[in-house]
Amino acid sequence: MNALETTYPWYCLVSGLELEQGDILENCPVFSAPANLTLNSSQEIADFTWEQQDVILMSQSCDLVEGREKIEEVLLCTVWSQSELTEGHLSTPKGMEEARRGQLPAYHVLNECKLAQVEREFRVVDFRYIYTLPLDFCREFARKSQNRIRLLPPYREHLSQSFARFFMRVGLPTDIPPFR
């Protein structure tokens, strides 16, 4: 570990009900609507599926403070381990390097975690897969999870900034022609 890693650690371990932006909830149940969901007025019931997924809290920490909550639903994004990325551009060193540099706006690379007993490989936050869950559910899930990994500043703010860049992209119908 070099001096900068000790001065600016990427992660810490936390437990309990307190949630903050950058908390990683491993094997958290998330829900997806069926692909054939329609606005058919006769359809009163739809089967949603759930799966366990590693997710990272994207909601602002100040909105999650117990007793001063400003939200009822927590925003979460999918987190993939590098070893899970077995096909596609991100499965290549070039793809991971482009994601690390911020050249793939839908992804944000997290450093490997070297904390004792919770070592994790490099991970990729995927902004294309977004979920919400009730705040109380997330707190209870966090409480039962024992120790969980929390992304620390300034890396948490860097993640938040990447998320904002992904959503603030604007595609223009006609661009200014190149200057030659």
What lies within 8 Å, CB to CB, of 27 at 6+ separation is 52, 53, 54
Summarize pLDDT for 92-149 with one digit per residue, the tens. Answer: 999 999 999 999 999 999 999 999 989 999 999 999 999 999 999 999 999 999 899 9
Predicted model pTM: 0.87
Summarize pLDDT for 51-102 with one digit per residue, the tens. Answer: 999 999 999 999 999 889 899 999 999 999 999 999 999 999 999 999 999 9
How far apart are alpha carbons 84 and 64 in whole angstroms? 30
Q: What is the 3-state secondary structure (H, E, C) of 8-35?
A: CCCEEEECCCCCCCCEEEEEEEEEECCC
**15-31+49-167 is a CATH 3.90.1150.10 domain:** no
Domain spans of the chain, in order of start: 15-31+49-167
